[in-house]
């Protein structure tokens, strides 16, 4: 048993729906045992009942929250991030497809998986939905490293049987067989979950999309992750390749890929009929603001995604390597800017709900993670809003206003603002105080 003392912030519900939805304890204590949260309360209330020699990590100046969740990221693109000058289809051909071929070597995958998880933890991210490459060994590498750290992860092997270099192609049958074997090995092992992962409609034949639908139907609880309507040229290419389908979404729908465990990256250029089907099926639209700006794809319209005629479940993600930061703080800051460009906004409490409990709900993992509640897994992030000279300087004018502090964090903060990250009660990342 151990404890973490700090300024505890947790969400009970979506501020957009429930209004007052967070709990904040100025001097709070979390008691951790067996990887989960055992107790939460005011430190002065709990301490008298706890053993005198209880180990306490003292972060009384800092905010302690549930670990951040990144519901769309490519671990194979840690050396693609910051690649210049191309929109989606050229970017894939010029950069992503070149790097992904290196994962044919299992040693490369193992090295990158360790880097990726280190970087996630440095940024306070404790759970992610991860695209691996077409190579099964790339999935083995990620799950092996994640399982060793006891991180809760969703990941899957890319399914691609056309539209990419030969070294990145499988076949409908091989992709099915390899995915099935990976599901058997990893889905439900420790904290690992499998996602059936057709990259997008342009790189899978109908036979492969049908196989993806079969994998979903045959394995209860597995996820589906793919890309949908990111870029106008991509959408045109899909329309040309699938002339009999009414829309891009209709292609996935025809093969049974929509549903409450289905994560669709981007969803920028959608017709109302597509929104209706995504809404009816409970599918999740994943907003990736730094990626959408960097690749020039477009602006995610959050108000439209919430339109009561066809409300979508929404998640917020980095999409590295199209995205430009591993930080969910930076991602929330970019989301704010994308919405500002459209006359919309992202209130700071809403943003921090989104990257914790909101994303946990979108991944159907909120019974495990996303909030500081007894019985939930003890995945935590400790945040320092004075981590850099510029942040400390700005914070001089913030007088006890929690929302304003959160807004400083999501605007100026990044990995430097993450003092510590806990996974299942273990502190796996710690950073010395810098200012």
Q: Which residues bind Zn ion (CB under 5 A)?
A: 265, 319
d(CA 121, CA 145): 13
Nearest to 410, CA basis, from 431, 390, 385: 385
Q: Which is nearer to Zn ion, 265 or 333 (CB)?
A: 265
Residue 225 CB-half CA count within 13 A: 28
Using only C-alpha atoms, the chain has a radius of gyration, in whole angstroms, of 21
When the beta carbons of 265 and 413 are compared against Zn ion, the nearer one is 265
Nearer of residues 81 and 216 to Zn ion, judged by Cβ: 81
- The neighbouring-strand residues paired with 33 are 36
Q: How far, in Å, CA of 280 to CA of 282, rounded?
A: 6
- Smallest gap, in angstroms, from Cβ of residue 317 to Zn ion? 8
Nearer to Zn ion, 103 or 310 (CB): 103
Query: Tokens 């109302």, residue?
Result: 272
- Closest distance to Zn ion from the beta carbon of 15 (Å): 27
Residue 274 DSSP label:
H
Question: What's the distance, CA 318 to chain centroid?
Answer: 7
Query: Min. distance of Cβ 243 from Zn ion in angstroms?
Result: 26
Output the smallest distance, CB 162 to Zn ion, in A.
Answer: 18
Instruction: Give the nearest distance from C-beta 74 to Zn ion in angstroms.
Output: 6
Q: Which of 67/265 has CB closer to Zn ion?
A: 265
Rounded distance, CA 216 to CA 198, Å? 12
The enclosing H or E element of 24 equals strand 22-33
C-beta of 253 vs 319, nearer to Zn ion: 319
Q: Under 8 Å CB-to-CB from 332, ≥6 apart: which residues?
A: 316, 346, 351, 352, 354, 355, 410
Q: How many angstroms separate the CA atoms of 129 and 168, rounded?
A: 21
Q: Which is nearer to Zn ion, 4 or 286 (CB)?
A: 286
Residue nearest to Zn ion (CB): 319
Give least dist CB 125 to Zn ion, A. Answer: 16
Please report how close the Cβ of residue 10 comes to Zn ion at its closest, in angstroms.
Answer: 29
């Amino acid at each position: 048993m151990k404890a973490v003392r700090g300024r505890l912030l947790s969400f009970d519900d979506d501020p957009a729906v429930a209004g007052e939805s967070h709990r904040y304890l100025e001097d709070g204590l979390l008691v951790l045992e067996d990887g989960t949260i055992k107790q939460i309360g005011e430190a002065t209330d709990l301490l008298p009942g706890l053993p005198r020699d209880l180990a306490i990590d003292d972060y009384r100046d800092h905010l302690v929250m549930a670990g951040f969740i990144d519901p769309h990221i490519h671990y194979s693109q840690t050396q693609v991030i910051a690649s210049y000058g191309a929109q989606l289809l050229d970017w894939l051909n010029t950069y992503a497809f070149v790097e992904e071929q290196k994962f044919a070597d299992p040693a490369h995958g193992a090295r990158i998986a360790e880097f990726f998880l280190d970087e996630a933890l440095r940024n306070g991210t404790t759970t992610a939905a991860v695209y691996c490459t077409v190579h099964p060994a790339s999935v083995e590498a990620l799950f092996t490293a994640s399982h060793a750290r006891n991180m809760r992860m969703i990941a899957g092997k890319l399914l691609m049987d056309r539209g990419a270099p030969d070294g990145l192609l499988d076949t409908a049958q091989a992709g099915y067989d390899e995915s099935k074997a990976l599901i058997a090995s990893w889905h439900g092992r420790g904290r690992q979950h499998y996602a059936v992962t057709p990259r997008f409609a342009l790189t899978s034949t109908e036979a492969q999309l049908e196989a993806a639908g079969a994998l979903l139907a045959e394995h209860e609880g597995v996820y589906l992750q793919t890309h949908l309507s990111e870029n106008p040229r991509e959408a045109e290419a899909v329309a040309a390749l699938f002339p009999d389908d009414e829309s891009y979404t209709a292609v996935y729908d025809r093969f049974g890929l929509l549903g409450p465990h289905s994560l669709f990256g981007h969803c920028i250029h959608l017709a109302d009929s597509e929104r209706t089907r995504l809404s009816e099926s409970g599918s999740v639209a994943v907003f990736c603001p730094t990626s959408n700006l960097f690749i020039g794809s477009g602006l995610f319209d959050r108000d439209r995604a919430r339109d009561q005629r066809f409300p979508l479940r929404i998640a917020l993600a980095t999409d590295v390597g199209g995205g430009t930061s591993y930080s969910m703080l930076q991602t929330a800051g970019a989301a704010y800017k994308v919405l500002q460009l459209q006359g919309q906004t992202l209130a700071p409490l809403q943003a921090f709900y989104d990257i914790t409990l909101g994303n946990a709900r979108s991944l159907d993992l909120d019974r495990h993670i996303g909030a500081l509640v007894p019985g939930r897994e003890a995945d935590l992030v400790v945040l320092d809003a004075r981590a850099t000279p510029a942040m400390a300087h700005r914070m001089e004018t913030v007088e006890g206003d929690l929302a304003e502090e959160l807004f400083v964090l999501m605007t100026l903060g990044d990995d430097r603002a993450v003092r510590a990250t806990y996974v299942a009660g273990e502190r796996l990342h710690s950073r010395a105080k810098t200012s």
